Chains A and B, each alone.
Chain A
Amino acid sequence: MAELTYREAVARGIAQEMQRDPDVVFLGEDIGKAGGVFKSTVGLYEQFGPSRVRDTPISEQAILGAAMGAAMTGLKPIAEIMFSDFIAVCFDYLANHYSKSRYMTAGQVSCPLVVRTANGGGLRFGAQHSQSVENWCMMIPGLKVVAPSTPADVVGLMAAAVRDPDPVIFFEHKSLYAMKGEVPDGEIVDKLGAAKIVRPGKDATVLALALMVPRALAAAEILKAEHGIDCEVIDVRSLVPLDTRTILSSVSRTSRVFTVEENPRLCGWGAELVSIIADEVFYDLDGPPVRITTPHIPLPAAESLEDAAMPSVDRITETIARRLK
């Protein structure tokens, strides 16, 4: 067991898979010699060399397009999009190609690749470098979408994503890169589509993702200490495939559910979860499902404004306490 930062876990996860399989290659902007703008890929270039760790120009379409061409002919590329906001300039590949080529060709084409990207707010980068865009990918049939919240999950889910035969969009949270956590020694392979109960409880289910997981956990401790409310916190981890079994059985037990979402309000991942819950376990509920989200606004840059926009420990605590009163 070693203590690693989330950013070190990214490099470790990639290295583990590149060591295992020579067909795993890695491409992106400043990922090689520079070690990544978030320093999350330090050492890979030195370890695996320029033919496997390829620095690219600022050409997001070329990065994602080349990853597809390599994947459909036998490699297993990992492509980095530096900030998840930039997915907007190469969204064609996610929306039209990775996701549809297998279906349109009656199963002839496979795209076993991973797109990893720094997602989310909290670093005062403003509206075009801070968004949570996992829901952009969740809505497209054919993609898989994961978002780890701990260093151990980064390594394990990275391995699962690289080994998966479908295209996986891997959302790292840029405010978690400095977070430390225990990571077991040796090879770690997790599985996609498994949510995790990270704090058992009996009064309410709190569904959270990425940076919202530690915030939901902190809120749960305050709710227990100050209000006597015992929350079960679930780290959703994987939006596609979605572990509805774990989520629905928890909601049926606790009878109340809150989502904690960093994305703006409309069409956030929590809306889909709430609709599934309403459809399938409505009569187990003792009250309405509640979504705690960023308002339907672009994210502002100033510290005070960004903090007010994103769901905070205080807002999560206050909302749950008020709605359960």
Chain B
Amino acid sequence: MATKSRRSKATPADDISEEVRLRMYRLQVELRECEQRAYDLFLQNLVKGTSHLSLGQEAVAAGFAAAMEPGDLTFCTYRGHAHTLARGVSMEKVLGELMGRDNGLLRGKGGSMHLTAIDHGVMGSYAIVGAHIPIACGAAWRAQYKGAKDVSVCFFGDGATNIGSFHEGLNLAVIWKLPVVFVCENNLYMEYTPIGEVTAVKAPAAGRAAAYGLEAITIDGQDADAVYRSAKAAYDRARSGGGPSLIECQTYRYSGHSRADPAKYRPEGELDFWKGERDPLRIYRHRLLKLGIDESVLVEIEDVVRQRVHEATELCRVAPAPAAELLTTDVYADGGSAWRN
């Protein structure tokens, strides 16, 4: 396999400022606590429908978001709560949407799988696997055409590497040299099936890079610093006209594919391994302490986040359901749904 771990090992440990590191720690705690709350609310039957949690994958979302500039664009999948929160969207709006409340990000019209916040650069969570890969290319094409400096960042799972739009999108991005960064979150399972059982190459994304003339990049998706460095390099390349990058992050999801999946297909001990020494929050907390950050600073971050999750939850519990009038709004640009005169 022609994959290699680029940049992360060669770069000195102090190239990331303390401010950025604390931001990434706070982000990871937020994503963990908010996602855990989403799961608890589901168990209380306050979150209906389906949801796809990012528990265990926090370092990917935090690292890529922390390295972005304000105008950069996030395209993510139905497993998109973490990426949405990582761009600064409020927990109240995210939890409200999951709970089908009027205070939700989409006023209850989209739900868990479609979180979108254009004003935060979250250009949508897409629930058809791979569909957003060409869409991110189109946004990058606009940036190129207009001479804008923003980068489109497109997150997807390992399963998406076997669908046609992945290959069509990558090819287009390379031939047009688009400012787009493709991020594969390889969490080892497409849905219920191990990705290795259904993929021709060992590394589902990096193993395909050569076919598009791209460098094969695999990184440790549980290490926010490694993610941040890799993200920065790819964004710089995109912004300077160097074209797209494809980054495969090795990560793991603690829960099943969706709420319906108890994940019984996993070998014994695997979850414990990832939740133990491979847990991104544990890795990062340990690193920050080793770098000399006082534990009280971290404890304060954790306390503040928990308090904010609590407050957001309480706001959502009492928020009203969306009014029936919303049913027929925003089908067309005139705000309504009229298809005839």
Contact = CB atoms under 8 A, between A and B. Distances in A.
Q: Does A pair with B?
A: yes
Interface of A: 25, 51-52, 54, 56-57, 59, 61-75, 77, 92-93, 96-97, 101-110, 112, 141-142, 144, 164-166, 193, 240-245, 276
13 contacts: A61-B131, A65-B132, A65-B133, A65-B169, A69-B142, A73-B139, A73-B143, A104-B114, A106-B109, A193-B341, A241-B338, A242-B339, A244-B341
Q: Is the interface of A mostly helix, strand, loop or mixed?
A: mixed
A305 B224 CA distance: 65
B136 interface: yes
A107 B330 CA distance: 5
B224 to A, nearest CB: 28
Contact of B134 (A64, A71, A75): A64
B340 interface: yes
A75 B145 contact: yes
A68 B145 contact: no
A66 B141 contact: yes
A193 to B, nearest CB: 6
A71 B340 contact: no
B110 interface: yes
B332 A66 contact: no
Given A97-B128, A166-B333, A62 B110 contact: no
Contacts of A144: 332
B175 interface: yes
A73 B165 contact: no
A75 B142 contact: yes
A241 B333 contact: no
Contact of A66 (B135, B326, B339): B135
Given A65-B138, A241-B338, A241-B341, 12 more contacts: A59-B134, A64-B134, A68-B134, A75-B142, A77-B138, A92-B131, A102-B331, A105-B118, A107-B330, A107-B335, A240-B339, A243-B340
Contact of A69 (B110, B146, B152, B165): B152
A72 B123 contact: yes
Contacts of B133: 65
A106 B175 contact: no
A25 B146 CA distance: 11
Interface residues of B, number: 49
Please indicate which of the listed interface residues B135, B137, B172 has the most CB atoms of chain A within 10 Å of its own CB: B135
A106 B142 CA distance: 24
B341 A243 contact: yes
A31 to B, nearest CB: 15
Contact of B340 (A61, A72, A97, A244): A244
A127 B326 CA distance: 42
A141 B109 contact: no
A74 B133 CA distance: 18
B25 to A, nearest CB: 30
